[in-house]
Structure 1
Amino acid sequence: MKFKHLFLILVAVVATTSCIDNIHPAGSKKENEKTAEVSEDFKLWTWMTADASRTDESYTEEFKKYAANGLDAVLINTNADADLLARMTPLATAEGLEVHAWMFTMNRPGDSIAMKHPEWYVVNRNGESSFEKRPYVDYYQFLCPTRKESREHVLSLVDKMSKVEGITSFHLDYIRYPDVYLPIGLLPKYDLVQDTELPEFDFCYCDACIAKFEEEHHKNPLESHNTAIDMEWKQFRLNQIKAVVDEAYEVAHKNGKLLTGAVFPYPEMADHMVRQRWDKWNIDVVLPMIYHNFYNEEIDWIGFATGQGVKDLEGTDTELHTGIYVPEMSPEDLEKAIQLAKDNGAKGAAFFDGNALTDAQLAVIKAAN
């Protein structure tokens, strides 16, 4: 499995150079050759959420099922519980699966430490904090990527989780702002029309963000004639998310792990919808969530979005593995989606989520190897 090989390469480079910055020098021909060498196989992943009350035996049974049906890796959400992750990891690796520590990153609903600091949370253009007034759903409680204390808290969790023995990567999720625009297929659920950037969904206007932006650009975005076309203000927020990712990359690599992440379908779309320009990040692998039905698109859109992301990543060392939403997907559609990902340059496919996979879908995944 290619990431086991890549992990060995990382360890070897760290051991010989003692400098994490040398692992992925930009534009390095030698490093590009390594990436090509370890990327021959098409990798198959699934996301899953852990429950501490479950027995080891039940998890072993689940991991056996995944491995028997061709899955190579599991992305496990333990709600940042390193002890639970440490308990589950050897159970999964014993069945031949890679383990990736999946964590909600900027969105930290119910975080016991963050909840003691209301000032850490993002604020919308109306001056409303997601600490109290949460956009869309009750579990949207995003932390500000600019504020020093909230960033340090997030990075401390990255450090803790990426130190768990046996995992392959730390996996970023919700590494963004709340949705400026929801996927079009979800708008009826919230009885919304989003033809413009609505102030209640436009973040972050907290004191820390305003002060830093004023220091850099000598103007206040709240006084802008139209914030939607203020490119410096938009770029500022893209840069704040990038800075968190780049620091997480350093932390994960310091601990001998890769950095992976779940992102929106392709960079231009992610930029528009959630201030997330992931082709500019320091990250080893991205898993764009190309959930075609969320956008009222047909199956072939999976190929388009995959290909767009692959093109945007040209010249980087970042791999793209297509994220596929399996509920209500027929085995025939799943087979087509996997093939579209392959044909458009993806190095693998990830399925959301493990519990939703039917026997018929697992048979398709097994045949995809």
Structure 2
Amino acid sequence: MKIKPLLIGLIAIGLTSCLDNMSARKSQGNAEDNKNENDFKFSVWTTADPEKADADYTAEFKKYSDNGIESVLINTDTDPELLARLTPLAKEEGLEVHAWIMAMSRPGDSVALEHPDWYAVSREGKSAHDTRPYVEYYQWLCPTREDSRNHVLGLVEGLSKVEGIESVHLDYIRLPDIFLPIGLLPKYDLEQTEELAQFDFCYCDVCVAEFEKEHHKNPRDFENPALDIEWKQFRLNKIKAVVDDSYEIVHNNGKQLTAAVFPYPEMADHMVRQRWDKWRIDEVYPMIYNNFYNEELDWIGWATKQGVTDLANKDTQLNTGIYVPPMSPEDITKSIKLAKENGAKGISFFDGNALTDAQLKAIKKASENK
């Protein structure tokens, strides 16, 4: 049977159109892959000084932007006025701004210090208002008491209303370290092979009463509290509730919620009552400080991958945090590569003022090649 020339022409046109569409979809996919690769973000944590001149801040922010850094997480000691002053200076240099807040540990908080009952209590029965674990600035508030948690949420709201910021960035959004990173133990002349009473929080009257009402047992009576999963979960849930409420507040003000967290969720759960893969949050910045844990550099990649895997099927993005003081420029380059290869959206350096010229040069080169 002969096929008419017109039909042959139509078939040819249809085949060409199909191939063109396939090519277009392939090009679109490649463009999307390139876009995702180019979206890798470089950030720094930095602490503000209200006495520092605007010109000095402009120089600092320009140093970051000139070297490939795109985002600054600024600790203003929860001062929205200082944040409002610095935000346009940073944005003028092309930087995103995130409002970094110490959340549950509130060193020197004049309002909180007037309310001793707001503070977390150890299994020894000592309040963090008066007896502080590890260091003097560990002044931990209870996440369960209505007044203390509302105080923290009020600070979050104040920062979230500052025009031009991208997110409120929660830090110390947990309870005190029940276990310190192993590399830090010699500094405090400590051995921690079990959960020690002086570092185990929060056993305040409100937490104990609420837990007892729910579970019909008193954690103060436990022979080994570490074995009671409901008691640990109770405290994990209390931190999660503060995060989830913060999420609602900042999103109502048109901002995002981000947080500095421990290296990966299982470790955070074990060490500081923090299970961040369960939170309502837009981005996390796990502090994968390998030298704190006596780990080699490649642990940065392993811990990054663990966190990314735990966040699978969630909208939360992960930015790998690294501690720069002990690192060579070559270490910086390798850390960036490890973070990218293992699924991080970006990398953040602690802290901006500690970065050397050589390290900045390595960051700039990596940013130009992303």
| TM over 0.5, shorter chain | yes
How far apart, in 1, do the equivalents of 2:278 and 2:129 lie? 29
Which residue number corresponds to residue 178 of structure 2? 180
The letter for the 1-side match of 2:293 is Y
Of 143, 146, 149 in structure 1, the residue corresponding to residue 144 of structure 2 is 146
Structure 1, unmatched stretches of 5+, are 1-33
Which residue number corresponds to residue 21 of structure 2? none
Residue 225 of structure 1 deviates from its aligned partner by: 2.5
How far apart, in 2, do the equivalents of 1:198 and 1:309 lie? 27
The letter for the 2-side match of 1:121 is Y
Which residue number corresponds to residue 241 of structure 1? 239
Which residue number corresponds to residue 53 of structure 2? 55
Matches within 5 A, 1:1-369: 40-369=38-367
Q: CA 1:158/1:192 → structure 2, altered by over 3 Å: closer, same or farther?
A: same
The letter for the 2-side match of 1:205 is Y
How far apart, in 1, do the equivalents of 2:149 and 2:126 lie? 20
The letter for the 2-side match of 1:189 is K
Structure 2, unmatched stretches of 5+, are 1-31
Larger Rg: 2
How far apart, in 1, do the equivalents of 2:80 and 2:138 lie? 23
Give deviations 1:180-215, integer Å, cap 9, x for gaps: 000000000000000000000000000110011011
Identity, % of aligned positions: 68
How far apart, in 1, do the equivalents of 2:84 and 2:327 lie? 33
The letter for the 2-side match of 1:365 is I
The letter for the 2-side match of 1:321 is N
The letter for the 1-side match of 2:294 is N
Q: What secondary structure, in the 3-state scheme, does the structure 2 residue paired with 1:51 have?
A: coil
How far apart, in 2, do the equivalents of 1:38 and 1:293 lie? 30
Give deviations 1:112-151, integer Å, cap 9, x for gaps: 1100100000000000001000000000000000000000
Q: CA 1:38/1:165 → structure 2, altered by over 3 Å: closer, same or farther?
A: farther
Q: What secondary structure, in the 3-state scheme, does the structure 2 residue paired with 1:76 have?
A: strand
RMSD: 1.2
Runs of 4+ in 1 over 6 A off after TM superposition: 36-39
How far apart, in 1, do the equivalents of 2:313 and 2:218 lie? 36
Residue 38 of structure 1 deviates from its aligned partner by: 7.0
How far apart, in 1, do the equivalents of 2:118 and 2:365 lie? 47
The letter for the 1-side match of 2:278 is K
Q: What secondary structure, in the 3-state scheme, does the structure 1 residue paired with 2:332 have?
A: helix
The letter for the 2-side match of 1:140 is Y
Give deviations 1:213-240, integer Å, cap 9, x for gaps: 0111111011112100100000000000
Give deviations 1:148-172, integer Å, cap 9, x for gaps: 0000000000000010000000000
